[in-house]
Structures are given as C-alpha cells and as structure tokens.
Copies of this chain bind each other. A is one copy, B any other.
Amino acid sequence: MPWYDTPLTRRLGIRLPIVQAPMAGGGSTPRMAAAVSAAGGLGSVAGAMLQPDALRAAIGEVRALTDAPFAVNLFAPLPPPATARVAEWARLTGVAPPSAPPSPARFEDQLDVVVAERVPVFSFTFGIPAPEILARFKADGTYVMGTATTVEEGRLLAAAGVDAIVAQGAEAGAHRGTFAAPFERAMVGIMALVPALVDALARAVPGVPVIASGGIMDGRGIVAAAALGAVAVAMGTAFLVCEEAGVPEAYKAAIMRAAEDRTTLTRAFSGRPARGIVNAFLEAAEASGAIAPFPQQNALTRPMRNAAAKAGDTERLSLWAGQGLRLARRMKAAELVRVLVKEIEESRRALSR
C-alpha cells in the first residue's frame, strides 16, 4: 500500500493516513483514540473542555491501552468573552443561570499538561498559539497540526511553523476553526479548499502537508481527498457513531436518522458557529437571538445539555455532525478503520481500471 506512505505517516510512524478528529463535545474518549491508533490511524484526545487533571488522566488512559502515537487537541486561546444576555438565556431555557458561569479550563494549564506529557502530536483550532509555545513543542519533537478554513489561514499557520495543516471544509461537523475571516465567508467546501491550499503552501512554505477534514465518511472520501492533494484525512462524524464514542445513544441514533439538509451552522449551543443537526433548542435560540458569546453560551447551556443527555432528549442536546452523516455506520472504531482500508483499495482499483 505505497500510497499510504505519505510525509505524515512516515514522520509519525503510523500505517494509515486516517486521523480520528478530536470531538470535544464528548465524542472522543481515550478508548476511541487508543482503538484508532492501535488500528494504524491517529487517535485524538479532545482536551479543550478538560480540566488539567482530567486531561492528564485521559492521556494516561490512551497510553495504558496502546504504544501507538496519538494526538492531543486544544482550543487556541480566544479574547475573554462578554457577559451579556444571561437573563434572556435563562428565560428561554427555563434553567437558572449559574451565579458566575463556570470558567473553562485555562489554556496555559492544559498546555502545561500536554508539554509535560511529551505527547507525539499536538493539534489545535480557533487560532494560532504564541510563537514560544510552538517553539517549545518543536524543541520536544512533538508534531504540531493547526486548523485552517481558508487558504489565508493555512498560510498564516504555515508561516507560524506548524508541521501540518488540517483543512476544515464547510462540510465538517461541530465548531469552525475560522480565525482570520468572517465565519460565514469561510464555509469553503473540501473540493475547493484542499487543492487551493495545497498549491498556496507549495508556493509559500513548501513541505507543509494538508490533512482534509469535512464530509469524509468512507474509502471513497479518503481517496477523493488524496486525489485533491491531501496526505491524510481527519474524520469526526464517522467515528462519532462508533461504540467507543462518549455521546448518548439517542445522539448516535439522531445521526443515523438525519439527512444532510437537516444540519446547519449555529451559535445556539456555544456562542461560536458550529455545524449540528437542527433541533428544538437550536431553532428557539436562533429565533430568540438570546445567544451569549463563546465560551459563555457553552457554559450556560451545559446544565441543559447534561440533563438532556441523561434523559436522551435530543431536542436540547448539541447534536454536532457533519454533512456526510447519511453515510455513518455503527460499529467499533477498529472495525471502521479496517472497513475504510478495504474501501480505499476498492476505490483505487476502480479508478485505475
């Protein structure tokens, strides 16, 4: 399988150019990351919403399950949020607002854990961490991957010295990584984004590979991404319905039922644009305009989402999912990786006929 022998797989010592995308909404679990890495791909720990102790424990769990390389993902720090509209939100949801919104874990504290653990791969989204942070990872031999939703964002990341760029297409589920363009204008499909980014990087900062992400659900999508010039793919929704995913059964069932025109970009759950399946809270929040900034809205809706998760109430849960959701399949993560490899070979054979 020499096509799998890409700059990325070689550098990381992995067999398959398949990254399990980090899903900070509960989808990613240490079991899932370990299963994907052990199967030859690159599993990801979604660290962004974890307190430092929980992040350290998650990394430890992956290491207890496999010796294979894995990634840890964080959100690059954003400016502090405003505190408006809490009252409207409380009225809308019927949930008493916390007297002070729970702080998300401090990026610096999360980062200390990732550095101390000397993880094989550090990935991030929402921006670019400070130069000294990236330099520290490089000095430690950690492979660094940033997220771009436009060609310009990719250029900025490459200039900052990242080792690889995840091109997040408009198809992708959950939060947009957009940081240098208006969110609505940075909804660029993989078909257009990947080859344009590959060409721009070849001119500007040769040698920085592109990982395609968004709408990729099976071997056809992986081979298509490779044809566009990507050296690997990152897949979220495909893994989100796997047995190891840490989201409620009702959420997985909602993905299996939904159609591609039932997802939309919304700020309703977190205050920051993300793609999810339309449900009652999403529609009510959008209609009301009672949406606080990120991460405040995320903290504010957490009690509702936690209660909905326990009750299996998919109308009040953030149902992050990508546009490829019709192609989702329920199986174990390792089995999915095996199926993908088989499909990649079928797809390549069909093209070479």
Contact = CB atoms under 8 A, between A and B. Distances in A.
Contacts of A152: 259, 261
Interface string A173-210: 00000000110111111111101100110000000000
A215 B192 contact: yes
A49 interface: no
Interface size classification for chain A: 35 or more
A270 to B, nearest CB: 20
Interface stretch (A100-108, A223-231, A297-305): A223-231
Copy number in the complex reads: 2
A184 B323 contact: no
Contacts of A150: 259-261
Given A188-B261, A216-B191, A151 B326 contact: yes
A262 to B, nearest CB: 7
A223 B226 CA distance: 10
A17 interface: no
Interface stretch (A20-28, A84-92, A249-257, A345-353): A345-353
Interface in A208-265: 214-218, 220-221, 223-229, 259-264
B191 A214 contact: yes
A170 interface: yes
Contacts of A353: 2-3
A327 B171 CA distance: 20
B199 A327 contact: yes
Nearest to A218: B195
Interface of A: 2-3, 150-152, 169-171, 181-182, 184-193, 195-196, 199-200, 214-218, 220-221, 223-229, 259-264, 278, 322-324, 326-327, 347-348, 350-353
28 contacts: A3-B350, A3-B352, A150-B259, A150-B260, A150-B261, A151-B326, A169-B191, A181-B261, A185-B262, A185-B278, A187-B187, A189-B323, A190-B191, A191-B214, A191-B221, A191-B224, A191-B324, A192-B326, A193-B260, A195-B218, A195-B220, A195-B221, A195-B327, A199-B326, A220-B229, A226-B227, A227-B351, A351-B352
Closest 9 CB pairs of A and B: A192-B215, A189-B189, A191-B215, A192-B323, A171-B189, A224-B224, A224-B227, A223-B227, A192-B324
